[in-house]
Structures are given as C-alpha cells and as structure tokens.
Structure 1
C-alpha cells in the first residue's frame, strides 16, 4: 500500500516547526512529525496513520549530535542510531547506550532512524527506551509555551504514548555520565534484526570488591520500559560472585506485566527477564 495524499513541510528552525504544528492544530488538521521515518513511514503506508500534514525535522540545524555538558552528555533528538553506536563521547561515558544502539534493526535503519524518534515512538519492544530509563535521563521539549524538561521516569506513559504533548517537539536528551561503570545490553530475539522479545539494560558500579550500585532497565516487559527495582535492591552490596548475582536477578520479573503473544506468553517472558538480567549483570562486571 501507499500513503494517502498529504502536505509536506521541512522547516529550517524549531520555531518554524512549532508554528506549523500550532497552525495545523488550530485548523483541525492531523499532523505528524517526521524524524528518521523508520516508524512513521511504514504505518503511513499501511494507513494506520493518515496525517494531512507531515513536518520533517531533518533540515533543522542543531538537533543532531552529542556534546559534553560537564556531568552529562546532551544528545540531539535527531542523532542517528549509527552515531550513538560510534560516537567516542558516548563510548567513553555512556557505553550502555552505545551497546543498545548497535543492536537496533540493521545498518540501513541505524543510519536513518534517530535516537529521539525512537524514544518518542515509545514502542515497548524498542531497544533505546529501557537503557535511557536506566540512566535517569532528562528529556528537553520545545512547545508553544517555551521549553520544559521531563524526567525519564515520567516520560514513558503507555503503549506508544509519552509525555510529549500536542504541539511539542523533543529537541534533546540530557543523560548523566556513567564513566567507569560496567554496562551491558542483553537482547533476546529468535531471528536477526527482530524486535526484542525481552531485553535487559544493566549499569553496575563496582567498589571494594562488591557491587555498590546497579541500575537495571527492562525492555518489553510491560506497556512501557521498566526499572527492575527488586534486582537493583538485591544487587546493592552483593559480592562479585555468580551465585549472588544469579540470586539477585531472580527478582527481574517482579512488578512486570509482559504481554502474551506469538513470541511467548507472560510466564516465558518473566523467565527470560531473569536469565537475561543475570547475563547482563555478569557481563557488566566482567564475570
């Protein structure tokens, strides 16, 4: 299938883009924002989305790239996954995001798809939301009322639903640095380039021969990404042994509500979460 007819605009500034969104809303027109298009274009082809106007952010300068902001990295919303997977600042300070970005789909999608676009799309099986949630990032949104900031814990609100309101645009994501922390993204699929059936993002700080702190994100274990708080609590103060880590990661299914579908039922996914959490944490601490 092909999309229905639609108008197209490619603004040069964020202000111009916001003006187009505001006018479309005032006129009662359905408008969609185009980032990399790797999610929007397929659903338009299937006519699951049928906008009268598409606003392409690709020509707006300053929305792509990674900059060092002292205690955090500021990542432009239009930064492609390929850049996330290869940028030296991300590799040094946020290797978890580098590892997750390298698993997204295939090279073509990684070169076209964007970091911010994937986060706003908020597919529960998407690879970037859970690692970003684990880092405690802050989302910077531009709208008709100016700029506002949203914590990662409040950003993901449901299936394909985020805190981005009508007329707003995600411009950047500020991610605290985790320099020196161990990290790993463990993803389970049955075929290459498939959406994650379950995945686990692990950040672990080792100190004095044990685990001082851990931050664990879960992919596709509910309608939004989740923090595995039971695992985090059990890992804090745990010794660096396979037995202790395995026992802590047995809590990975707690508080989750995974779907049952053709890839597996809820019980299967909860088992996977325990197995993948164990693998991710062991890899993060080098065991």
Structure 2
C-alpha cells in the first residue's frame, strides 16, 4: 500500500528538530531508520501530516567512550554497532544482539535510537539496555533530561517520551572487566521478531555468580527485568537446581500474547529455556 500525503522536513540540528516538533505538534513524527513507522504508514495505521527526518543531524550519530560508560548516538545504526571495536570490547552483548536483528539490509538503516524509542515489545535492544543499566537522553522544548531504560517503557508503544521530545543518545555503563554476557533469541526465521529472548550480564567469583541481571524480550507488552530470576542464581555455581529456579522465576513475570509464534504457554516455556541458556553461556564467558 501507499502512505497518505505528508510534508517532509530535514532539520540540521537537534534544536531545529525540537523546534519543528514543538511547532507542528501531534501531527509530526520523527523519522529515524523508518522500519517501524513506514510500514505502519503504508498500512494507514499511522497517518502523520509531517515527517521530520533526523538523518541530517550529524551529532546524533557516533559511538564514544565517556569515562566509565559508552555513549551511543540515537541515529547510530545496527551496522555501526557491529563495525565498532569499542562496542566489541566493552559491550560484546550489543554485538551479539545486533547480529540477530533482522538482516543486513535492515541493519544498515535501522538505528539504535529508533529500536529503543519506539516502545515495540518485539524490539531487541530495549531489554538489553535495561539489563545493562543504560539511560536515555531525551531532549525537548523544556530542555534535556535523562531517564533510566528500566523506567522508560510504560506499555506497548507507550514510553516516557513527552510530546515534542526526541531521544538523542543512549549512555551504557561499561560492565566490569571479566564479566560474562549472552543474548539468546528464539525466532521462526531470519528477520523475525523473537518468539522469546533473554539477555544476561553477570560476574563470577570463586566459581559462583557474584552479580547478575536478566532481561526478557517479547514476553510481555514491555521489555522485562527478571530481578527475582537474577537473585535466584547469585551465590550459586549455576547447577541444575539454580537454573531451574531462575527459569521458574522468569516465567512467573512473563505475559506473552498468543500469536503466530505460538500459544502463550509455549512462549513462556521457551522463554525459560532462553534464560537458562543465556545464563550458562554468560558464565562460560566470564573470566
């Protein structure tokens, strides 16, 4: 199908983009990679009168180290993540997850900011950012503010973004040296959303789990932090009982919808398996 008519704007700065959003109001939508918005426009599920293309804002793209964190510009693409030696060294779980997002054509255009800002429960990066303790820089007419990723998602496609704000950067604390991480994603075919996925970041000490965070993708209307599942493995050597307890605790907070990927109980079952696999791989990688 063909989208409805709209006016096209290409600001050259964040200030210009914020000014346009403020001036044009609810009839304007920012455009990043477009992989969520454009299909919705083609189906006439979204009919914005104005598109504000963010590709002309150079300051929105790039990856840099800032003391103990990595700052990722919102218009940085998944391909940029994969090409970044800094990401590979400091945040290898983002490398791993980016390789599982859609296909190379999508990764060349799909942006990290768009992936985390859209509020789509099927997107991969939100749960990872929550697991890593990331925060989002939001900028609007009233200035800039930072919101923890764990507080950003309020419902399917509903986020902490206020009218007229755009997400401009993601700040991710660098995990300690020797940490282990893994992202396990079950999907029907290349390019599909996850049937269920789990992210794990942990540290080991004396053969036992010292710290742990677990995030879940596409197993509720928002990404989830499985805090009780993480607590279930701390102090254990990840034996069979600990893994089973973690999977059970994770399943307890899953509320997936029944869809073409399977009934809800199946998706919860494989969600627990993704948690166990991610825990085992993360522990094997911890040094």
When the two structures are superposed, what TM-score results if normalisation uses the length of structure 1? 0.95
State the partner residue of 1:61.
58
Structure 1 CA distance for aligned equivalents of residues 4 and 246 of structure 2:
51
Residue of structure 1 aligned with 2:199, choices 188, 192, 201: 201
Distance 1:48 1:35 in 2: 18
Where do residues 154-193 of structure 1 align in structure 2 (5 Å cutoff)?
154-178=151-175, 179-193=177-191
d(CA) in 1 for partners of 2:170, 2:112:
9
CA distance in 1, matches of 2:94, 2:143: 28
CA contact (8 A) 2:246 2:275 kept: no
Structure 2 counterpart SS, 1:251: helix
* Distance in structure 2 (CA, Å) of the matches to 1:11 and 1:147: 18
Cα drift, residue 243 of structure 1:
4.8
C-alpha displacement of 1:93: 1.3
Aligned to 1:101: 98
Which residue of the partner structure matches residue 219 of structure 2? 221
- Aligned twin of 1:232: 230
Q: How far apart in 2 are the matches of 1:39 and 1:180?
A: 36
Task: Give the SS at the match of 1:274.
Answer: helix
In the TM superposition, what is the alpha-carbon distance from 1:49 to its structure 2 partner? 0.7
The answer on whether the counterparts of 1:211 and 1:238 sit within 8 Å (CA) in structure 2 is: yes
CA–CA distance in structure 2, aligned partners of residues 15 and 2 of structure 1? 31
Alignment partner of 2:37 out of 40, 43, 47: 40
- Return the offset for 1:231: 1.2
Residue 5 in structure 1 maps to residue 26 in structure 2:
no
Corresponding position: 1:281 with 2:279: yes
Whole-Å separation in 2 of the counterparts to 1:121 and 1:108: 20
Tell whether 2:82 aligns with 1:81. Answer: no
Distance (Å, rounded) in 1 between the aligned partners of 2:129 and 2:21: 27
The answer to whether structure 1 residue 119 and structure 2 residue 130 are counterparts is no
Q: Distance in 2 between matches of 1:108 and 1:83?
A: 13
Cα-to-partner distance string for 1:229-276 (whole Å, 9 max, x where unaligned): 121011111114355334433322012211112221221111111111
Q: Is the 8 A contact 1:209 1:240 kept in 2?
A: no
Counterparts of 1:13 and 1:126 in 2: how far apart (Å)?
27
**Aligned counterpart in structure 2 of residue 151 of structure 1, from 148, 152, 157:** 148
Deviation at 1:203, TM superposition (A): 0.6
Runs of 5+ in structure 2 lacking a partner?
none
- The aligned counterpart of 2:89 is 92
Separation (CA, whole Å) in 2 of partners of 1:268 and 1:19: 47
CA distance in 1, matches of 2:67, 2:212: 22
Secondary structure, aligned partner of 2:52: strand
Match of 1:272 among 270, 273, 283: 270
Structure 2 equivalent of residue 49 of structure 1: 46
Residue 131 (structure 1) aligns with: 128
Task: Give 1:241's aligned residue.
Answer: 239
Which residue of structure 2 lines up, in the alignment, with residue 254 of structure 1? Answer: 252
- The number of residues matched between the two structures is 284
TM-score normalised to structure 2 length:
0.95
Q: Which sits farther off after the overlay, 257-266 or 163-172?
A: 257-266
| Counterparts of 2:241 and 2:221, CA distance in 1 | 31
Q: CA deviation at 1:47?
A: 1.1
Q: Distance in 1 between matches of 2:242 and 2:148?
A: 32
